[in-house]
Structure 1
Amino acid sequence: MLTNFRHPSADECVEHKRIRFFYAELQRGQFLLHYQPVVSTQALQPLYGEGLLRYCNSVLGFNPFSLLEDYGVMRHLDHCVVQHLIATLQANPDLHLGCNISAQSATFDEGWERTLATLAAAPQLAARLIIEITESTAFSNIAHAVDFVRRLQGVGCRVAVDDFGSGFGTLEFIQKCQPDIIKVDQGYVRRARDQALSEKTLEHLVGLCRTLAPVVVVEGIETIGDHALVLRAGGEWGQGYLFGHPSATPDGLADNLPIAG
């Protein structure tokens, strides 16, 4: 007798249908990466382009990332995106590109082992790849996540901690894994626009991050005023609409193929 069985709620049924729809559309090649530049705040020279997932057919009508994380089924998407980015770098030897993965995916499995072998065999390609770990969910195991970062760095790949200061990330993890890049969440710039105390907070946060990683990127720079306050805060690298919107055809990209699901 099944004593713990329960029927899914109506909301859960809707969410399960959305997950199935998302992965079916991924399988059909209905998603592309659009690339947004990360640049020097002074010279405006690009560091790399961050690949952001975009749906080809209008809008999905729901946020797939939070949904996939809530149900623990983000890993397949992350593998597909990273493999797609590696293929893009192979076809475009002058580009430096990055993409996000969930903290849930930051632990090794067979898929990551295959990716690691590919990168180890192509160190020049690995040096042009940036893996950004998002803070939108907690790490399942910090020790495994630290090992994950170190092994990627060991084959020449750079690792970023994304949206720092917004969610589940911890200084313990950053101090242990020693990422190559820390990206300060865009909320700090938004709050600093109108509040002197928040501008001081941004300055202190940038200073702290500079002691933890060689490169600190401040996200959410949308206006000339944002740019000025980030410069005052000591931000040397930035990302946001002021420097460029996500584009399907960034400079130097030979072709932008759909992601294979």
Structure 2
Amino acid sequence: MSHLTSASQQYIHVSVLNYPHLSCLLGTVKTVELINQLSVRLSNWGGVRFLSAGDLLIEVKKSLVSESDLSERIVVECSRNVYCLAGEKCILILSVQPAQLKADEDQLLALEAEHSWISQVAPVQYNDIWRGAYKNDMQLGVCFLKQLRDEQLSLALQPIKHTCDPTLELYKEALLRNFECIGDGFSTVTVISALENLGLVRLLDYHVLKCVIKELKHSVADRIGCNISAQSATRDCWWGTILEDLSKNPTLAGRLTIEITETNTIPCTNEAINFLLSLKQLGVKVAIDDFGSGSSSWSLVCAVPVDVIKIDKGYLSAARNSRKSARLLIDFVNTCKYWAAKVVIEGVESQSDLLYLASIQERLWVQGYFIARPSLAYKIGRVDG
């Protein structure tokens, strides 16, 4: 099997991951028209070939930009576009990777991608209930993209303090604010859930982390943590410039904490483990957020030497009203301290909460409205790959 790749040519494979979803929602003809719109945008980087339904290949002339950097630039730029068709506003969920072309005896094209695993999107369900839910998620996703484009989203910082010494601060968590999309009832949790259902949460995590790194460069004494979805816990084209930036700034990397949240199932545990280990090699702290609210994080805790475990606020809430739950919280804290040097209790809402936690364990960290309310820090501006 001979390679068709030449010294003067590089190839980028673009796959529309929600092609079957859009076909189910809009029909094949309309979905193909959306793919044609994408191909027009992709032509800014080179010639475009259609390989199959939802798969395209860009033939890019050799330049000073590496294939991985170019992949990141393409996926960021094209993922934040809204594609319109007959009054319908749609989002395309993309996987973009460097590729090599091969030819077999029938001269059919095949792809040899650098990464065989890609982020998965929720499967299609061919019924009206699924179509309605997917359409609602799409509307929230479109609104998110508008807010991102208009720089309407903000990050608020909430400190994590020590139970016995409020002058000690572990770090400040960057919390997303201003998700006021369609009206009342659409909270940040609702929108993030929609983005995870769509597979678009990668774009959100990318912009949040870029902004946090920018803030760490500006405020050289701060330590900041931020959440990323379990869907983002994989090394692919989204992470190229971020990892390069962190490798060049080890002091900055040491002041950054990445929190993996359990709101979404980890698509590939091995990929997530390797990703977190690569972050730790750069000096980044790793935290597991909302620990105990699901089951997927146990595999990460067992395989990765995490720095921080943040116990879900539900445990403290239950302990307020039940001796059995209070005993469970104490046992859970002791278990977590075996796996991580720092344990944080979330949801501290009163002086009695704080005194209770200080009484059960001297070396605990706490977070909640009683400790400090989040304070708006900065807007999430447009960033480029």
Query: What is the TM-score when the length of structure 1 is the normalising length?
Result: 0.91
Q: How does 1:91-170 map to 2 (within 5 A)?
A: 91-170=218-297
Q: 1:125 to 1:113 in 2, by over 3 A?
A: same
Displacement of 1:100 in angstroms is: 0.4
Q: 1:238 to 1:66 in 2, by over 3 A?
A: same
Distance in 1 between the 2:240 and 2:184 partners?
32
Q: 1:7 to 1:56 in 2, by over 3 A?
A: closer
Partner of residue 40 from structure 1, selected from 156, 162, 165 = 162
Q: What amino acid is the match of 1:35?
A: L
Higher strand share: 2
Please say if residues 123 and 156 of structure 1, whose CA atoms lie closer than 8 Å, have aligned partners that are also in contact: yes
Distance in 2 between the 1:11 and 1:152 partners?
35
Q: What amino acid is the match of 2:177?
A: R
Please say if residues 35 and 247 of structure 1, whose CA atoms lie closer than 8 Å, have aligned partners that are also in contact: yes
Q: What amino acid is the match of 1:13?
A: K
The corresponding residue for 1:26 is 148
Give structure 2 stretches of 5+ with no counterpart.
1-19, 27-130
| Higher-Rg member (1/2) | 2
Instruction: Say which SS state the counterpart of residue 157 (structure 2) adopts.
Output: strand
- 1:124-156 Cα distance to aligned partner (Å, 9 max, x none): 111111110001111111111111111101011
Q: What amino acid is the match of 1:121?
A: K
Q: How does 1:10-25 map to 2 (within 5 A)?
A: 10-25=132-147
The corresponding residue for 1:243 is 371
Displacement of 1:47 in angstroms is: 1.2
- 1:180-199 Cα distance to aligned partner (Å, 9 max, x none): 11000000000000111111
Displacement of 1:109 in angstroms is: 1.0
User: Is 151-160 or 233-242 further displaced after alignment?
Assistant: 233-242
Please say if residues 186 and 219 of structure 1, whose CA atoms lie closer than 8 Å, have aligned partners that are also in contact: yes
Partner of residue 194 from structure 2, selected from 64, 67, 74 = 67
The corresponding residue for 1:253 is none
Distance in 2 between the 1:77 and 1:211 partners?
33
Distance in 1 between the 2:23 and 2:147 partners?
31
Q: What amino acid is the match of 1:34?
A: A
- Is residue 210 of structure 1 aligned with residue 337 of structure 2? yes
Distance in 1 between the 2:155 and 2:375 partners?
8
Distance in 2 between the 1:99 and 1:27 partners?
21
Q: 1:56 to 1:22 in 2, by over 3 A?
A: closer
- 1:150-187 Cα distance to aligned partner (Å, 9 max, x none): 11010111010000000243422211012111000000
Please say if residues 180 and 215 of structure 1, whose CA atoms lie closer than 8 Å, have aligned partners that are also in contact: yes
Q: 1:197 to 1:238 in 2, by over 3 A?
A: same
Please say if residues 153 and 177 of structure 2, whose CA atoms lie closer than 8 Å, have aligned partners that are also in contact: yes
Displacement of 1:61 in angstroms is: 3.9
Q: What amino acid is the match of 1:110?
A: C
Q: 1:176 to 1:56 in 2, by over 3 A?
A: closer
Partner of residue 216 from structure 2, selected from 89, 94, 101 = 89
Distance in 1 between the 2:379 and 2:137 partners?
28
Q: What amino acid is the match of 2:371?
A: F
- 1:71-107 Cα distance to aligned partner (Å, 9 max, x none): 2221110011000000000011011001100011001
Please say if residues 164 and 184 of structure 1, whose CA atoms lie closer than 8 Å, have aligned partners that are also in contact: yes
Q: 1:80 to 1:168 in 2, by over 3 A?
A: farther
Displacement of 1:57 in angstroms is: 5.7
Distance in 1 between the 2:322 and 2:381 partners?
42
Partner of residue 189 from structure 1, selected from 316, 322, 329 = 316
Displacement of 1:5 in angstroms is: 5.1
The corresponding residue for 1:252 is none
Please say if residues 153 and 379 of structure 2, whose CA atoms lie closer than 8 Å, have aligned partners that are also in contact: no
The corresponding residue for 1:7 is 25
Aligned length: 253
Give the number of the structure with larger relative contact order, counting CA–CA contacts within 8 Å between residues 6 or more apart: 1
Please say if residues 158 and 374 of structure 2, whose CA atoms lie closer than 8 Å, have aligned partners that are also in contact: yes
Please say if residues 189 and 230 of structure 1, whose CA atoms lie closer than 8 Å, have aligned partners that are also in contact: no
Please say if residues 74 and 104 of structure 1, whose CA atoms lie closer than 8 Å, have aligned partners that are also in contact: yes
**Percent of paired sites with the same residue:** 34
